[in-house]
Chains A and B, each alone.
Chain A
Amino acid sequence: MPGRLVTWGWIALLALGLAAPFVVYPVFAMNVLCLALFASAFNLLLGYTGLLSFGHAAFLGASAYTTGWALRSWGLPPELAVLLGTALAAALGLVFGALAIRRSGIYFAMITLGFAQLVYFLVVQLPWTGGEDGLQGIPRGRALGLFPLDDPRTAYWFVYAAFLGGFWLLHRAIHSPFGHVLRAIRENEPRAVSLGYDVARYKLLAFVLSAGVSGLAGGLKALVLQFASLSDVHWHRSGEVVLMTLLGGMGTVLGPSVGALLVVALENYLADTGSWVTVITGAVFVACVVAFRRGIVGEVRALVRRSFTGGKP
């Protein structure tokens, strides 16, 4: 594909993101951005390293609660509170990751799910997390002491800046030599080992990076939505991020964001129907796995490649 077209495409997307709060409801847009960042971080593991974590809600949720607590009870400025949540999520990722990468494949998924349940039960029972109610009424404060985040559009641009930062970090990681090693591990782990790469270290680093950026997403989400709740640590959330990545296209840069936009829109649209959200989410899941494994962006990419190579694969 011509490079210039790609550059213009990115510029158009950037502008679209910048203008979004004039077109759609800012809180909706912020929610999409946070979950898009979350799914992109998850994609680093599933799409580029071939590791299915079924417990990523733990990092999103732990950071959301930490950020919320730091804002509400310690009165920390928003950027510091979000960073604190991010750091905690990364530390949690280091511990869980170090244990989980001792097994591979399907066991990895079950182990991460188990650790996420551990975090869930801790959040349910710890005295300061508010139990079933969660943390409510988290103040937004002023970013860098200058920008009042109570203004929805200012808050949106703050989140957008943080999103771009996290997205850029992931993008750099994927296209660096480090990212190439990750893909080598995904394609053929024994070969990566025999080439002399310390595979466990690479996996752990990817896991920590993914957990940290998920934490950034969780912290931002608690900040702008002004609450942290049990749904952020629940296994439904872990499944939701898998769905976003799968639907948008795993192993593509933009796929998870597209998936996040669609899933959040779907959930908003169906919010009044109660349990049907779960049923339809499940049905989309099944459809994606059975018939649509490349996802939307993956399909589009395949289509574009085919048209540029004149029908030859």
Chain B
Amino acid sequence: MTQALFGQLFLGLINGSFYALLSLGLAVIFGLLDVVNFAHGAQYMMGAFAAWMALTYLGIPYGWALLLAPLAVGLVGMVVERTLLRRLQGLDPLYGLLLTFGLTLIAEGLFHHAYGNSGFAYPVPGWLRGGVNLGFMFLPLYRAWAVGLSLAVCLACWFVIERTKLGAYLRAGTENPRLLQAFGVNVPLMFTLTYGFGAALAAFAGVVAAPVYQVTPLMGSSVIMVVFAVVVIGGMGSIGGAIVTGLGVGLLEGLTRFWYPPASSVVVFVVMALVLLVRPAGLFGRER
């Protein structure tokens, strides 16, 4: 009983830390570029696939994949920003959503064509196998690592954005990009780097997720819908809010999966409806 409860809660915590990472990236991209990046799910999937392909074809181990896969996906993201998203500047943000939606279809279609519907298992790296018996539950080592690493990266992002000079530029660009440019900052380059960074963050979540879940072409689209709901619930106003909401939604899903499994996939959308009723701007949001 308690074993199952804590097991589900911990799985919820893992999902929650992925939601936190993804909604963080979405919020950073939206803040600066005014683009809701639908391709975030596809970039998460590409991160997982990049890790799997690196291991399968080149024998590159997990530790290197954690670094290289986000780098590769981030580079692809930067090319996309430079060649496509840039053309939509100044238009209604809806076009950005539609463009990234189209890109998602292309990416999913290509991977689906190459690898089909079935998933691939990514083996847990040797040094993270096994687990600890905590008394009330058995904790697989990799899952603890996944949560710890994701949260550490979330906190590092929070620190960089809120407490460093680089973050100050980013926040200034979010408030008023033209003024920032007038001060001599290369804002277009910042746009490119920010989009690449957001994409890399999504890919990083994908690599961490690869050993927990099956690597499939469609793994991203189911996650991105939940992350959008997380963003509506939390509001995109604050970085801390995105992290807290992501974790909260993950835990809530875990609890629901324990009490009444069929409802676990819809609970987040029900919460979204409730939040819209009570606090339309989102829990941590301010209306833009």
Contacts and interface: CB of A to CB of B under 8 A. Distances in A.
Interface stretch (B44-52, B55-63, B86-94): B86-94
Interface string B33-48: 0001000000000000
Interface residues of B, number: 42
Interface of B: 30, 36, 84, 87-88, 91, 93-95, 97-99, 101-110, 112-113, 221, 225, 228-229, 231-232, 262, 265-266, 268-270, 272-273, 276-277, 280-281
The binding surface of chain A is classed by DSSP as: helix
A189 to B, nearest CB: 13
Nearest to A274: B113
Interface size class of A (residues with CB under 8 A): 35 or more
Contacts of B228: 110, 113-114
A242 B272 CA distance: 23
5 contacts: A52-B97, A114-B269, A118-B270, A275-B109, A278-B112
B77 to A, nearest CB: 15
- Of the listed residues A105, A107, A125, A242, the one surrounded by the most CB atoms of chain B closer than 10 A to its CB is A107
Interface in A102-147: 102-103, 105-107, 109-111, 113-115, 117-118, 121-122, 125
A279 interface: yes
A12 interface: no
Contacts of B112: 274-275, 278
A286 B84 CA distance: 9
B277 A99 contact: yes
A276 interface: yes
Nearest to B288: A105
Contact of A121 (B221, B231, B266): B266
A197 interface: no
B110 A114 contact: no
A289 B99 contact: yes
A285 B101 contact: yes
A103 B280 contact: yes
Contacts of A226: none
B115 to A, nearest CB: 10
Given A105-B94, A276-B109, A114 B229 contact: yes
B109 A103 contact: no
A178 B75 CA distance: 48
A80 B277 CA distance: 34
A239 B94 CA distance: 13
A167 B266 CA distance: 34
B269 A286 contact: no
